[in-house]
Structure 1
Amino acid sequence: MSKSKEELLENYAEHIREKFKETPDMEFLDLVTVGLGPAIYNRDSSLVSGTDESELETVRKNFLVKKLGLPDGPHLMHAIKEVMREYGASERNKYRAVVYYILARRFKKENVYR
């Protein structure tokens, strides 16, 4: 049986606290999670592989450029790789909601969700 959205949110918040040493904005985290729709319940689509270049490219194109409206450039991939590094190589489950939350906050694009 899959976890409820509330259980997933708490799990995501725990990752933000532990991996990024930040106190999560639960309202914003909820908005990011809702924006991902049913993908949060599918094991494969709910995770981001930090070592798969095509996966990182998808985050760059579909999230940073299309969703957040950022101008394309090498700084975007640098930011993604920095988040992956901070998340930690030993953390196999890099949740897409957490990655998107951190990237949106780093680029100060929370307003896209509000």
Structure 2
Amino acid sequence: MGNDTNCAVQPGHKVTLRPVVGLTEHLPKRDLEQITIQAIRTHRRLRDAAEAKYEEWRKAPPVSGCDTVGPDRIAYVSAMLDMHAQQTLLSTLLNVLGHVPLVPAD
């Protein structure tokens, strides 16, 4: 991951998405804060969706056979991947912004 030209591993193993830094580092703080707030809301929505998919997977009947983990677990894993990708974007935005903006609960 550290050799990828679009990401950099910083001290403490933080991943920074360089394209996001390049696109946002010269924006006015007010504009960057709006973008970051939207990213926080998106992350919350994806987190809630992943939690719902987890519950669906846990309640689903066991899958017979060993060629698949089943559609419910696949949906859960996909939701978690979306959430973690958004978290990486959000972390980068927060690093560029320099603070965590207040975002009321939806």
The alignment's TM-score, normalised by the length of structure 1, stands at 0.27
Higher normalized strand content (fraction of residues): 2
* Structure with the greater alpha carbon radius of gyration: 2
